[in-house]
Amino acid sequence: MHYSVSDKPINKDDSDCLVIPYAQPAELKPIAQRLPAETLSWLADVLEQEHARGDKSRTLLLHRVPGVEQRIILAGVKKTALNDRAYLKLLNDVMSVLGETNARTATFYLTHVDVKKRDTSWKIRQAILAAEESAYRYDETKSKKDHDKVPLEAISFHLAGTESKDRCELAIKQGCSIAEGITLTKDLANLPGNICTPRHLAKQAEKLAAHEKITTTILDEEDMAELSMGALLAVSRGSREPARLIVMEYKGGKEDEAPIALVGKGLTFDAGGISLKPGASMDEMKYDMCGGASVLGVMQTLAQLELPVNVVGVVPSSENLPDGDALKPGDIVTSMSGQTIEVLNTDAEGRLILCDALTYTERFKPARVIDIATLTGACIIALGHHLSGVLGSHQKLVDALIKAGEFSRDGVWQLPLADEYDEQLKSNFADMANIGGRPAGTITAACFLARFTRKFKWAHLDIAGTAWKSGKAKGATGRPVHLLAQFLIDYANAG
Ligand code: BES
Ligand code: MN
Ligand code: ZN
């Protein structure tokens, strides 16, 4: 999709569809006043009927409007300033109505809607993300590729003239780059486990290195053995697909500047191993690589935005399957850090592959480390599907993520990383167990990772509830690419 800003008056607008907000009680936003008189009076009639119906804020698609050639979408908003959610809902409503037309071009006058504490560039960025979300189609493994093709090709955002055009253009650049990262993440995540294997993920990471600022290095199982990554290799033993450790370095900042490390769980299929999962919905465990996919997505966004930061992305990638040679409950493995782990449940494999990846990350002397993982079902019980969990050892980093989450609307909620919980990991036979029992499963998982991040300013994102949707609209969400991109934009701005 192509996006632009425009300050043409509405009577000079030549796009196929005008998306105009109207306020409740029914009156057109002043922006429409330049439409021909017959159009205005016809629209006023429509709004009067709407008002009489008592509908609060419908989105109306109008054809054959007198005096104009275009279709008009009237988008109802409350007279007072909207909150973020109401604006995002408005965008979704507009996108689905727009999808019913065959308009190729549209002008959004929605930039004139008041959204509490948000400026035009925020409204533009969110509109682009909503448009790309509604235009997203997964067809990689379908035989008919052009299924349900979206005719919309371009959206123009109308400016009142008071805002900085440069900032709005930047918002378009940011919106498009973030959307591209989200799309890459969704595409990878939606692929089935038989296609998106650790080797496939590694190949995609190598493709990213086509960008001059990105270098990709892939470690195979031999390399891992040399590094004594006993935990990561133990998970991979139950699978015939060889594991990979994917390392992507983006150099946008100063040569000697310490990087931000993003460590993403890339478990391409989690059957649970010998602690086999129940069959229902097990297909969704192809999404257990969403943390890793989001790291690739962010790399894509960074390259597109040319953000002045250094970022290293580390993605341990493996399958978790039951096999005669698989890791068994009770087995003890030695991690790269030297710490030993009693594996009481082979289904708690994410932390096993992540702990070695985290220790590996030490060599980059990172300024901050954020890991991203579909780590615990318990996180879905705690937070549902709206907010990701965040826990960390460095409160300023956690705060920065919370702030980036509020701005991006790809939100997080903090859970406590208190010492007390760590005791649940006690083992009689090793330095720690890999599970801490049923209570506070998300927290004990983070406590486990904390034992491998003592040298870092570190935060952990549990995206088990937010990385994909189940049910009829089953599919990856691309979260938390926007959150991470916003965090990095803020970090770069803070210098
Ligand atoms: N990948 C799963 C977590 C998960 C489950 C994410 C369902 C999204 C939906 C992870 O590897 C896992 O199996 N965790 C176990 C940990 C338990 C054995 C301590 C879980 O959450 O049940
Ligand atoms: Mn598991
Ligand atoms: Zn898993």
User: Ligand 1: which of 376, 442, 460, 468 to mutate, judged by most atoms within 8 Å of the beta carbon?
Assistant: 376
Tell me what the pLDDT averaged over the chain comes to. Answer: 97
Strands (E), 79-219: 105-108, 154-158, 214-219
Which residues participate in catalysis according to the annotation?
A: 277, 351
Tell me the backbone φ, ψ of residue 260, rounded to 5 degrees: -90, 130
- Residue 277 pLDDT > 90: yes
Span 331-351, average pLDDT: 99
Provide the residue type at 65 as one letter. Answer: V
Q: Which helix (H) or strand (E) holds 17?
A: strand 17-24
What pLDDT does 184 receive? 98
Residue whose C-alpha is closest to residue 408's, from 326, 321, 298, 327: 298
What pLDDT does 66 receive? 97
Which ligand has the shortest distance to the CA of 378? 1
Q: How far is CA 464 from CA 69, 287, 318, 411, 433, in A?
A: 48, 9, 17, 13, 21
Q: Is 346 in the pocket of ligand 1 (CB under 6 A)?
A: no
What pLDDT does 454 receive? 98
| pLDDT tens column, 362-374 | 999 999 999 999 9
Helix and strand counts by DSSP (H, E) for the chain: 14, 21
Span 103-122, average pLDDT: 97
Tokens matching residue 60? 């109306």
For residues 201 and 20, give the distance between their C-alpha atoms in angstroms, rounded to a whole number.
43
Which ligand has the shortest distance to the CA of 437? 1
Q: Is 374 in the pocket of ligand 1 (CB under 6 A)?
A: yes
What pLDDT does 148 receive? 66
What pLDDT does 495 receive? 78
Q: Which helix (H) or strand (E) holds 468?
A: strand 468-469
What pLDDT does 54 receive? 79
Residue whose C-alpha is closest to residue 204's, from 81, 94, 297: 297
Q: Which helix (H) or strand (E) holds 266?
A: strand 266-270
Task: Tell me the percentage of the chain whose pLDDT exceeds 70.
Answer: 99
Neighbours of 72 (CB within 10 A): 20
Span 344-368, average pLDDT: 99
Task: Tell me the percentage of the chain whose pLDDT exceeds 90.
Answer: 93
What pLDDT does 317 receive? 99
Q: How confident is the model at residue 25 (pLDDT cuts 50, 70, 90)?
A: confident
Higher-confidence position of 389 and 27: 389
Residue whose C-alpha is closest to residue 283's, from 480, 477, 479, 474: 474
Do residues 152 and 73 touch, judged by C-beta distance below 8 A? no
DSSP 150-207: ----EEEEE--SSS-HHHHHHHHHHHHHHHHHHHHHHHHHHS-TTTS-HHHHHHHHHH
Residue ranges and CATH numbers for the domains of the chain are 2-160 (3.40.220.10), 180-494 (3.40.630.10)
For ligand 2, an ion, list residues with CB under 5 A: 270, 347, 349
| pLDDT tens column, 392-412 | 999 999 999 999 999 999 999
